[in-house]
Structures are given as structure tokens and as C-alpha cells.
Amino acid sequence: MKAIRRFTVRPVLPEPLRPLSDLARNLRWSWHPETRELFHAIAPAGRRRAGLDPVRLLSTVSAERLAELAGDRRFLRRLAAAADDLQDYLTGQRWYQSAQQSGRDGRLPEAVAYFSPEFGITAALPQYSGGLGILAGDHLKAASDLGVPLIGVGLLYRHGYFRQSLSREGWQQEHYPVLDPNELPLDLLREADGTPAQVALALPGGRQLRSLVWVARVGRVPLLLLDSDVEENAPGERDVTDRLYGGGSEHRLLQEMLLGIGGVRAVRTYCRLTGHAAPEVFHTNEGHAGFLGLERIRELADAGREGGPGTAGGPVGLDFDGALETVRAGTVFTTHTPVPAGIDRFDRELVARHFGEAAELPGIDVERILALGLETYPGGEPNCFNMAVMGLRLAQRANGVSTLHGRVSREMFAGLWPGFDPEDVPIVSVTNGVHAPTWVAPEVFRLGARQIGPGRTEDALSVGDSRRWSAVADIPDADVWDLRRVLREQLVEEVRRRLHVSWRQRGAGAAELGWIEGVLDPDVLTIGFARRVPSYKRLTLMLRDRDRLMELLLHPERPLQIVVAGKAHPADDGGKRLVQELVRFADDPRVRQRLVFLPDYGMAMAQKLYPGCDVWLNNPLRPLEACGTSGMKAALNGCLNLSVLDGWWDEWYEPDFGWSIPTADGHATDENRRDELEANALYELLEQRVAPRFYDRDADGVPQRWVEMVRQTLVNLGPKVLAGRMVREYVERLYAPAARAQRALTPQAATELAAWKARVRAAWPQVAVDHVETGALVVDRAEPAGVPGGPPNGSAELGATLALRVRVTLGQLAPDDVEVQVVSGRVDESDRITDATTVPLKPTGGPDLEGRWLYEGPLALDRTGSFGYTVRVLPAHRLLASAAEMGLLAVPSEATGEEAGVLMR
Ligand SMILES: *Cc1c(COP(=O)(O)O)cnc(C)c1O
């Protein structure tokens, strides 16, 4: 019979075991080995295999077992030590507190709010679909380790993302198990009187979308998760947070309104109830949470109207433009994908309907809201509301997630800064990292700890102290190799276990499955490939030439084995066909012991998979992988990378760390041809380079050159790929400047800045570079001075200096409002300046009778070869974060350009 109601009855822990409750409810257990071991010791031996979930464990362990533990002095001592350690971790001084005291970066933000549509923290809290969420989880954990006062904000999806299994035919099946928040490591945020705190959004037609706020403790960092499954909501509204990335456009819009607008309200409620400092910086992980900026504009505008203090304790009395400036100053936007399908775009009308008088943010003119997101630039869809575009317009600081992705993003979004070269587009990059304590296998950690001491290993892993890392270099070859064998063996067992479960689900009887005992071999070169299955990641590239692949797998002396996993988005039948193709190949009795597909890729599987592989394979279509992080996690466990030079690998690849698959990017426009070229290159590498090195053994059976690569990977690549390094970069390069910018914007400054921008924008059409002349050519040596006007298309000598004189019209503007710059450098065949140096010119006179100003300055010919320069005028104000911020620029017209863009060859 089906129950009509469901309760969670929480266990009463015997008094001596009370500290277990705090340990279970703080997710630090998920990356703290001693706490994990403590919980493992509670579980009856037979039940220890499945992923650890302390909350669930405590609610299922028998009263007898608890009584037994309550009397076990050794256990109680360990418990006390773990509880003390957690207390120290939560309250001690960490990197951020020292940085704050040193004053190196000015006063750091009191708090930062970090918004993301998904968070992957542990398999026990399945609220992620892939890389974006796991990165967000790693960001919170690293922030916690560093002591960064972050508040995470997300949604609680009642079904999370789907669980994947396979049909007999290898077709992906999706399941959505219900998650009961009472059984998850979450606490309900409550008002002082004990009633659950709620935040509400106004929807069209007088409806309301209410939500509860659950709090997960991620070490020192609270993570607020909004949950619309509230009895007072109408059924449609209850389902807003039903699942991750499901539903149609309107459903998605409501999720994003709840995340952004509701999220800010949840943060305010949390700070009010707990006394947590109000965030000075808001960071949005991808565009999905972008509406948070609108809610903050509303707050500032309302505070002004009421004449009361700002909700954030911030500026008061602002109109839309002043509020927009304030919000921009304190907002950081991270873009994560160059793939258009990864960016949310809504129909203009749909957005318009959800804002304004009868819906949300009634105080703000809907047209102003729309103007922030519509693709009103060359090449855009003017009726399309684009969340990434809004993200960029609402944030003064933005970044991509690897050096290459930064470059690709600057090109991709260049339309928002018309007239500027992509290099000038104000999007920087912070390369992603991964949280080592989460992703390093306990066995690897122990070997490191033996070498450099346990506490120091923790520091090295979380903070990235590279002196500590170098000690890994002294671990003997044989120990490294033994460790690799142990990890591979564990993976083999895990694969067999999972494969067995999968085949039972596919309808096979136990008697048919004897062959699974022979699947994979703990001494064979093991390659891993696991990721989501969007087409650009090319799950099936390895199947391009099946005979060739089969030969590699079954090679008599140098065989290899491959473990593959990945989920296709439920609406992506193309992706599901790729999964099926792979599964069918893996089902072939000739290869099934060498190539396996494991369903239901997730964190629990990933934690076993990365350490157990010798080689991590990645073959995306360059440059569509913004960063990629699985290869970093593999590297931290001594796995070598074999990848197309995309994302992070493009930046940090070295022959010591693995192999680069040559890419036909830019050469083969035909996709089919490109796949063929790259697949061949992959086979070639595996056969000629990877396998021979793995099987080249010394007298003791150790592949010395392989082990040397493992060592180089650990020592030299390891410290770079850490989330601790990433979060420190965010703090120093983005959060600290954003906090300074937002503090500088007192209400008065914000109003002035907004007014100045409006004035500059209105006056800009009159701004022009009228005339550029080069004065005498000054040469170091006593040579005859050059002809006035310089050497048009002539030649000049290194070390010479030209005197530039530029006349510009500023119209209603004054020299204080602008900067006139000379931009010079090497030029390519199409006369584009490639490595620009920018030097400001000084105003020396004017305005003349025609209102023109004279600017002068030297131009040093400091490079040999083809050299060129041009002159440009930009708005200038001390509160702008970049010269391109306003997207305004004046350059010499074609005619003037002939004089200005002088080239010397
Ligand atoms: C790290 C990770 C990802 C992201 O991997 P990419 O290299 O970015 O594709 C996806 N899923 C899981 C479970 C992960 O651990």
C-alpha cells in the first residue's frame, strides 16, 4: 500500500554521540578523510560500499549499534578529536583573514554572495548535472578552506538531475527519484519564532511564488537553496524547482527569477536572522542568476523612495541609473560556455509579461529591464532576451574560465563593444581549478602525507603551497608505481560491480553474467573518458575506425582498456544515439572485456574513476570546451592527460604531463573530415607513443619514463589546477576591486557617475579625431632629422621617436572627460596592430576657434619590422573599470586615417 503522508523521524543520539550530528550536518565530512573514516566506522561492515551519506546513515543505524558506540571509549576519543578539528576549522584564522590584516588588497569584502543554478558538493546532495555545478561546489569548498566569507545561493531541485540507466538495447533511460529535504544534510531557515522563513515573488495574474530556504553547511560557507515546494503555492508554482534544466521556456524563466530575485531576498533574510555580514560583492556563475542585479536595483531605488536606510546598509536615494552603476560596481559575472545552446535566451514578450506593474519589480520600467538583456547589437536577435548579455551589462567585471576561453569570449561578445578590437573587450579570464581534498584519492593523499606530513598535505592541497608540493618529487619510483597499481585495481573492481548492476537493470539474469568477472585487467593500460554528452565533446570519436580501435584494445603485447561514462540531456536524442552507439560497441563479446560503458556518471563514480585511470582522454571540438575540469582531477591523482589543446590543457600542456591530440581546428572546415583527421591522430598517439611508454619496463617491472611523467604531473601541474589558486585569483583580481569600486560609489558618486555617463553618451557623436601629424623624426644618433610628417610608408630606425600632434573635437566634452591615446605596435598583412602598446597623449592647447583641442606626445619606434600606430579617443573617468566599459570610441576617419595610421615597413 502507498502511504498518504511521509515523515522523517530523526534519531535521538545518545548523549556521548551528540557531536556526530554536527559532523554529519556540515558537509566538510565530504572532503575530510578523518571524519569520513569515523562515519565509516559506524556503519555495519556490509553496508560500507555505497557512497557515504552520514545523515542517512545516522537515521538508519540501529539503537543497539548506537548504544554500543556510546560505550566505546576509542570511538568516543576519535569523535571528540573530529569534533574539535571541525570547530578549529570553522573558527580559525585562514588565508583570507591574514590577507585582510596585511591590507595587501585594500579592505577585502565583508562578504561575497555566489549564485549558481547548480552545486555539486557531494553525491549525497545531488543538485548538479555536470561541470558547472561541480565547479560551483569546488568554489565553495575552496572558499571555505581559505576563509573567504562566501554565501552560496542556488535552488533545491526536488528531483535533482536525472539518474541514468540503460535499456536492453542500450538506449538511455531517465529516472527522477524524489528527494526529501528532511533526509538531506540541510536545515530549514527559520524566523526567530520558529516558523519557516519564506521569500515570495509576484507573478502575473496576482499569483505568488513562495519558497522556503534550506541551508547546507559547506565547511564555513552557508549555501542557501530555494525550494518552491510549499503548500501555499498553486501546483504550477510548487513545481518551479522540480528538476534541473527541465521544462519549457517559462519554467526556466521562473526558475531563474526565483534564483536571482528570490536569491537576493533569501540572502537578506539569512543575514537578518543570523547576523551574517551583508555581501558587498555578488558573483554570478553563468547568466542564469542574472536577475539578481535587477532585484538589487529595486532595493536601492526603494530605499531612496522611502528615504530609509538601504537594505544592504548601502547607498540610498538612487534613481535607476544611479542604482545600476552601484550594482554594476559590485557585480562579477563569469561566462562558462562559447556554445550558444549553453546560454539561456528568452522571448522578449515572455520576459515583459513577468515584470512591471502587475508582476515582479513593479517600480522599475519594464523597458529598462528589457534593454539590459535584448540582443540589440549587430548580429543579435533584437527580440531575444539573452541572460549572458544581461550578465555582462549588469556586471562591471566579467571573466571567462581559461585563457583560451577568455579570448574566445572576447570575440564572441565583441558586438557589445562596437568599434573595439576583441582584445579590448573587458572580459578577463580566471582559469578554473578543482578542490583537491575532494578529488584526491585517500591512497594518494596518504602517500603524500607520508612524505610531507598530514597537516601540511592538507595545506598544500587546499592552498597550493608549491614548496610542499615539490617534496612529492622524492617519493621513490616503485612507490608511485605500486600506488598506480592499487588505484587501477580498485577501479577494476568498481567497474565490475557497476557493470553487474547495470546488466541486471538491463534485464540479464545473474547466470548470464559470469563474463563480468573477467572485465578489465588491473595490469592493462587504462584510459578514462567520462563527461556529459553534448555533441561538441564527441563521445564517439574513438569509434571512428572500429577495426583500428579493436586492434588497439586487443593488442597482444600492449593492450589497452577504456572506461566510458556520460549522460545525455533528456531532451537530446542525438546525444542518446551517441550513448547507444557506444554501448552497442561495448556489448560486442569481442571487446566487452576491454571497453565498458558505465551508466549514471556522477560524483561518486568520478571519485573512483579519475584515480584509477592511467590516461584521461578528452577530444572536444576546439575551442568549444571552455575549460574542462575532469582532466585536472585526474592529474591530481597522477593520471596523465591525452587531450585536444582546448580549455585548460591549451594553457598548461607540457610533454611531461601527457600528450596533445593535434587538432584540425581552422584547417578542416568539413566536420566529418575534421573528425577523421583527429581520430587518426588519436589512434596514432595511442599506438606509437602512449602504449609503448606504459609497457616499457625496467628490470623491476617499473615503466620509469611513465612514472617520471606521473611525478612531473603531480609536482608541477598539481599546484596550478587547484581551486584554492582559482579562488585566490577571484578574490585578488575581481572581488577586491569590485568591493573597492562599490564602496567608492556613495549615493552621490553613483548619481554623478550616471549623470556623467549620460552626458558623455549624448555628446559622443560630436567627438572626432580631426587631424594627426607627426613632427620631426628625432633620432638618437646625430643623423639628419627626418622630414616633417614622418616617413609615410617609408622606413625608420629602431630607437627613433616621432613627435605626434593630434587635433580632436570634443564638442560638449572637456579634456577631463576623455583620454586621447596613441596605440602602436607591430602590424600584420592587413595592417592590424597585433601587439598594441597604448600611451596617453597630453592636451597642450585649445580649444581653437573651431573648438578643437591639441594633444601631443612622443611615439617611440621601439620595435623592428612592420610598425604602425593609430590614435583614439575614449571616455575617461576614475570610476570606470576599463577604457572600453562604455563601448564608446572615436578613431580617425578613413581620410584622416591615411595620415594617422602611418605604417613603416
Ligand atoms: C568534473 C566533473 C565534470 C566536468 O568535467 P569536464 O571535464 O568539465 O567535462 C562532470 N561531471 C562530473 C561528475 C565531474 O566530476
Q: Is 628 in the pocket of ligand 1 (CB under 6 A)?
A: yes
The 8-class DSSP code of residue 797 comes to -
Give the phi and the psi of residue 803 in degrees, each rounded to 5: -95, 120
Percentage above 90 pLDDT, the chain: 79
Pocket test for ligand 1, best of 336, 629, 632, 648 (most atoms within 8 A of CB): 629
pLDDT at 796 over 60: yes
CA distance 497 to 547: 28
pLDDT value for 106: 81
Average pLDDT over residues 232-255: 94
The pLDDT confidence band at residue 899, using thresholds 50, 70 and 90, is: very low
Q: Is 147 in the pocket of ligand 1 (CB under 6 A)?
A: no
Q: What is the pLDDT of residues 317-364, one digit of tens each?
A: 799 999 999 999 999 999 999 887 788 999 999 999 999 988 999 999
Q: Whose CA is nearest to atom 11 of ligand 1?
A: 130
Burial level of 557, CB count in 10 A (0-12/13-18/19+)? exposed
| Strand order across the beta sheet in which 852-860 lies | 768-778, 801-809, 852-860, 842-845
pLDDT at 489 over 60: yes
Q: What is the pLDDT of residues 616-638, one digit of tens each?
A: 999 999 999 999 999 999 999 99
CA distance 628 to 838: 34
Taking the model in full, what pTM does it have? 0.94
Q: Is 131 in the pocket of ligand 1 (CB under 6 A)?
A: yes
pLDDT at 896 over 90: no
Side chain identity, residue 819: E
What are the CA-CA distances from residue 459 to residues 145, 398, 449, 724 (Å)?
Answer: 9, 29, 11, 10
Q: How far apart are the first and last CA of the chain?
A: 87
CB within 8 A of 835, min separation 6: which ones? 825, 826
3 state DSSP class of 420: coil
pLDDT value for 453: 77
Q: Structural domains in the chain?
A: 15-91 (no CATH), 106-159+185-432+735-747 (3.40.50.2000), 436-721 (3.40.50.2000), 756-904 (2.60.40)
Q: What is the pLDDT of residues 117-173, one digit of tens each?
A: 999 999 999 999 999 999 999 999 999 999 999 999 999 999 999 999 999 999 999
Q: Is 246 in the pocket of ligand 1 (CB under 6 A)?
A: no
The pLDDT confidence band at residue 783, using thresholds 50, 70 and 90, is: very low
CA distance 229 to 748: 42
Q: Is 601 in the pocket of ligand 1 (CB under 6 A)?
A: yes
Q: Whose CA is nearest to atom 9 of ligand 1?
A: 531
Percentage above 70 pLDDT, the chain: 93
pLDDT value for 466: 67
The closest of 750, 749, 755, 794 to 774, measured between CA atoms, is 794
- Determine the distance from the C-alpha atom of residue 774 to the mean position of all C-alpha atoms in its chain, rounded to a whole number: 47
Q: Helix 263-274 to helix 292-306 angle, to the nearest 10 degrees?
A: 60
CB within 8 A of 350, min separation 6: which ones? 249, 250, 253, 385
Residue 626, C-alpha cell as written in the block: 571552455
pLDDT value for 794: 61
**CA 274 / ligand 1 centre spacing (Å):** 34
pLDDT value for 901: 44
Q: Whose CA is nearest to atom 5 of ligand 1?
A: 630
Kindly compute the dihedral angle of the four CA atoms of residues 691, 694, 695, 696, in this order, to the nearest 10 degrees: 120
Ligand 1 atom with the smallest distance to the CA of 630 is: 7
- CA triplet 377, 417, 627: central angle to 5 degrees? 100
The pLDDT confidence band at residue 866, using thresholds 50, 70 and 90, is: confident
pLDDT value for 898: 46
pLDDT at 880 over 90: yes
Average pLDDT over residues 19-27: 96
pLDDT at 740 over 80: yes
Q: Contact at 8 Å (CB) between 226 and 212?
A: yes
Ligand 1 atom with the smallest distance to the CA of 632 is: 7
CA distance 498 to 411: 43
3-class SS string, 349-417: HHHHHHECCCCECCCCCHHHHHHHHECCCCCCCCCEEEHHHHHHHHCCEEEECCHHHHHHHHHHCHHHC
CA distance 759 to 203: 36
CA distance 624 to 471: 36
3 state DSSP class of 121: coil
Pocket test for ligand 1, best of 119, 134, 435, 627 (most atoms within 8 A of CB): 134
Give the number of C-alpha atoms closer than 13 A to the C-alpha of residue 815, restricted to the C-beta side: 18
Side chain identity, residue 728: R
Mean pLDDT of the chain: 91
* Residue labelled with grid coordinates 545523515: 55
Q: Is 129 in the pocket of ligand 1 (CB under 6 A)?
A: no
pLDDT value for 273: 98
Give the number of C-alpha atoms closer than 13 A to the C-alpha of residue 192, restricted to the C-beta side: 5
pLDDT at 789 over 50: no
Q: Is 619 in the pocket of ligand 1 (CB under 6 A)?
A: no
CA distance 370 to 379: 18
CA distance 122 to 794: 65
Q: What is the pLDDT of residues 63-80, one digit of tens each?
A: 999 999 999 999 999 999
**CA 532 / ligand 1 centre spacing (Å):** 8
Q: Contact at 8 Å (CB) between 272 and 264?
A: no
